[in-house]
Structure 1
Amino acid sequence: MTDAREVPLVTGPRRMALLSFDDAAELPESAGYEDVPTGYVLVVLWHEGRVLMVYERERACWELPGGGIEPQESPRAAAVRELREETGQWVDEAELRFVGHTRTAIGEARTVLGGAVFTAELRRPRPFTANDEVSAMHWRSGSEPLPGAGLVQTVDEYIVELCREKPAH
C-alpha cells in the first residue's frame, strides 16, 4: 500500500495525485484497501473506440464520469448511478467490468481516498442533457483536444490508458 508522501504515478490539476493503481488481478473488487475505504468510483465508458469524458462544472475540468459512493451502496451500483446522473447513459451492473482500485491524494491536505474503476462498452449512447454537475460530455479519441476551454484531469487520462491496456475480451 502507498503512503501519501510517496512519489505519485501521475499528478493532475486541482491538486490531485494518483498514488497507486492495483488491478483486479492484484486486488479483487471485493477486497479494497485495508487502511483506506473505497469512497468513489470512476467509469471508463467506451463507444466505437472512444472514451466518454465529462466537463465538471465546479472543477472546470474534463474528467471521467464518477463520484462518491452513498452509504449502503456498492461501488458497482454507485458506478451505474453516477454514470446515469452525470451523463444520462445507462449500463447494467452486469455490463461493468471491474478494472482495479486506486489510491488518490486530493487537495492541499493530501487527503487519501480509495476508488474503484469500472469499464464498459456502450452500444447505443443516449442524448446528453446538461445538469447541475456536468455541462458537457464528449466521446474522445486518443488524446484529441477536448472542446471549449478547461483543464483535462491528467490522472483520469492515465487511468484511461491503463484500461486501454487491459482489453475486455
Structure 2
Amino acid sequence: MLPVGDQRGNTLTRLVHRPETDPPADAPTPFALVALRLGGRTLMAYHRGRDAWELPGGMIDPGESAREAAVRELFEETAQRPDGRLDFVGYAAFVLGPGRRAEYGALFTGRAERPRDFRPNDEMSAIAWWDPRLPLPGRVQPIDAYLAVYAAAARGDRGAREGQ
C-alpha cells in the first residue's frame, strides 16, 4: 500500500496511469525503471553505492525517450535485454529526499526468455532474479520491491500479488 518510503527520505506516493507519450506536467520525469521478468521472477541489481538491491534504471539523457533510457540502462547495468518490446506500466510519483522535490519515473516491464551473462561493473556488483516471496541476501530498496511486484501484477503474471 502506498505511500512507500526508504531510508534516504524518498517516498513513492502514487502510480499514474496515462499514455506513455503524455507524462504528467506537474513535475519532471527524469528517469526510467525496468521490471524485467523471467519465469515469475523479477530482475534486481545490487547497487554498489547504495548497498542495496533495486530495479535497473536511470536518468533519461537529453534527446532520449523514457523507453530508450529504460532499454539502455537495463543493458548498461545488467547486460540483460528484453525479449520483445517493453510494456509501459505508468508513471511512479515520488517525493525525494529532505528537500521534498517532486519527480516521476517512467516504469516499464518486459520478459526475458533466458538470462544473459553478467559481469560486475562500476555501478552494479551483482544481479538476481527475485521471487518476492523469498529474501535476497542484503537489503532490498522498499520502493523498488513495491514497484517490482506492482509491475508483475500489472503484466498479469500469476502469483505476483503474493509477494506484495
1:1-169 equivalences under 5 Å are 9-23=3-17, 27-91=18-82, 95-147=85-137, 149=138, 151-167=139-155
TM-score (norm 1): 0.86
Q: How many residues in Structure 1 have an aligned counterpart in Structure 2?
A: 156
User: How far 1:168 moved relative to its partner?
Assistant: 5.3
Letter in 1 for 2:77: E
Over residues 18-46 of structure 1, what are the superposed CA-to-partner deviations in whole Å (9 max), with x where a residue is unaligned?
021113xxx11011111212111110000
User: How far 1:78 moved relative to its partner?
Assistant: 0.2
TM-score (norm 2): 0.89
Q: Contact between 1:44 and 1:118, CA under 8 Å: does it hold in 2?
A: yes
User: How far 1:17 moved relative to its partner?
Assistant: 0.4
- Using the aligned pairs only, state the percent identity: 43
Large movers: runs of 4+ above 4 Å: none
What is the distance in 2 between the residues matched to 1:154 and 1:130?
23
What is the distance in 2 between the residues matched to 1:62 and 1:41?
16
What is the distance in 2 between the residues matched to 1:98 and 1:129?
27
Q: Contact between 2:34 and 2:55, CA under 8 Å: does it hold in 1?
A: yes
Runs of at least 5 residues in structure 2 that lack an aligned partner in the other structure: 158-164
Runs of at least 5 residues in structure 1 that lack an aligned partner in the other structure: 1-7
User: How far 1:159 moved relative to its partner?
Assistant: 1.2
Letter in 2 for 1:130: P
What is the distance in 2 between the residues matched to 1:82 and 1:102?
17
